[in-house]
Structure 1
Amino acid sequence: MDANNQDANNNQQDQQQQQSQDEHDQDGPLPKGWEKRVSRSTGQAYYLNIYTKESQWDRPTQEANTKDNEKIRCSHLLVKHNQSRRPSSWREEHITRTKEEALALIQDYHEKISNGVATLDELASELSDCSSAKRGGDLGFFARGAMQKPFEEAAFALKVGELSQVVETDSGVHLILRTA
C-alpha cells in the first residue's frame, strides 16, 4: 500500500472513530432518531432529526418526532384521587377519594360514553379534574414527549375518533379520545 492510500485509510478510520465518539459524546448516547453533525459554516455541532430532517443546536433529550405522528390532538377526562401527584383541582381543593373510587368513576364514564348516553366532551366539561374541562377536555395538539409516558403511549396508539380504555398516570386516571 502506498503512502497516499495509507493516509486516506487512516483518515477514514479517524472519521469513523470521531462519528462513533460523537454519537456517544460526554452526555452518553443520543436519544433514538437523532444524529450529531458539524456545521460546515461555523464548525459547531448540531443535531439532526433523521425522520423529519429538522435540525437544532441544543442536544436533544427525548426521542425524535417522526413524520407520521409528529402531533396529534386529544381530549381527555381526568379523575384524580388521594394518591395523585397533585390531589386538588378546579372542582375540589382537596381530593380525598381513593384510587379505587376514582377507577370506579372513570369506568362508569367509559360505559356512558361507549353506550352513547353521554359524550366525553359533556362529561369532561362537568366532571374532569383537569383545567381542560373548560374546553370539553380538549388538550390541543401535542407531540411525543409532552405528556406522561402512559398517557402518551395510549394517545398515540389510538386512531382518530377512538376512545381509550382507562389510563393510569401520576396525575390520576384518564379516558382519552383522539380527535386529530
Structure 2
Amino acid sequence: MSETGLPPNWEIRVSKSRGIPYYFHPPTQDSRWESPTGTDTEKLKQYMATKYSSLADQSSSSKPQGEKIRASHLLVKHRDSRRPSSWKEAEITRTKEEARDIIQMHEQTIRSTSTTLGSLAQTESDCSSARKGGDLGFFGRGDMQKEFEDAAFALQPGEMSGVVETASGLHLIERIA
C-alpha cells in the first residue's frame, strides 16, 4: 500500500472543474469522489491533511473564505427527513421519536465505551459518508446546514456534540480539526 493508503494502482487527482481531490484507477479508468474499497482510511486522512487541505482555500469560490474545520458525523434519518432514504434503506419509515431514541443510544455507546463515532458511523450512519467513518472533510461557514455548522464550529478538536437536528435528520458530530 502506498503512502496515500490507497489500494494498488489508485491515484489521487484534482478535479479541474471543482478544484478538489478525487480518486482515479488508470487501468480501468474508474474515477470517484469516495475512496475505493481497501483504502487504509487513517493513512489516507493523514496524507490528505498534509497534501490537499489547502486546496479548498485556493479554489475560486463565491463563498467568503475563512476558517475551515474538519468533522465527522453519524446521521439517523426519519420519515420526515429531507430525503428519507439511505445507502442502508430505500425508504426510511421510522418516526422522528424513533430516530431520536436510536441516536441517543449511539451517543450513550460512544460516551460510555471505547467505541468511536467513526467506527459506529461505518455501520449505523444513514449518510453516504459512512464509508469514510462519517468524515466530511474540511468545510467552512456556509457549506453545511446552519444547525450542523453552528454545532460543529462550537466544538473543539476531539469533542463530540450532543444530538443536532437538521432537515436531513439527527446527527452526532465530532470535530476532527
**Structure 1 length normalisation: TM-score?**
0.63
- Of 72, 91, 94, 2:91 maps to 94
The equivalent of 1:173 in structure 2 is 170
- Unaligned 5+ segments in structure 2 are 1-56
Q: Post-superposition shift, 1:65?
A: 4.3
Look up the match of 1:32: none
Match of 1:147? 144
- Residue identity opposite 2:132 in structure 1: R
- Offset, 1:122: 1.2
Q: Distance in 2 between matches of 1:142 and 1:157?
A: 14
Shift of 1:124: 0.2
Paired with 1:141 and 1:168, the residues of 2 have a C-alpha distance of: 21
Could you tell me which residue of structure 1 aligns to residue 117 of structure 2?
120
- CA deviation vs aligned residue, 1:50-69 (integer Å, no higher than 9, x gap): xxxx9xx99x6x6x444xxx
Match of 1:104 in 2: 101
Report the equivalent of 1:43: none
Decide which structure has the larger Cα Rg and report it: 1
Structure 1 unaligned segments of length 5 or more: list them. Answer: 1-53
**Which secondary structure state, in structure 2, belongs to the residue aligned with residue 177 of structure 1?**
strand
- Report the 3-state secondary structure (helix = DSSP H, G, I; strand = E; otherwise coil) of the residue aligned with 1:153: helix
Residues 1:84 and 2:109 aligned together: no
User: For 1:161, which of 158, 162, 167 is the aligned residue?
Assistant: 158
Q: Runs in 1 of length 4+ with deviation above 3 angstroms?
A: none
1:117 deviates by 4.2
Offset, 1:116: 2.1
Pairwise CA RMSD:
1.9
The residue aligned with 1:44 is none
Q: Hey, what's the Cα distance between the residues in 2 that align with 1:150 and 1:117?
A: 28
Distance 1:154 1:93 in 2: 29
1:30 maps to none
1 CA distance for matches of 2:154 and 2:65?
A: 15
SS at match of 1:75: strand
Which of 44, 69, 74 is the matching residue for 2:71? 74
TM, length-normalised to structure 2: 0.64
- What letter corresponds to residue 135 of structure 1 in structure 2? K
The whole-number CA distance in structure 2 between the counterparts of 1:96 and 1:117 is 31
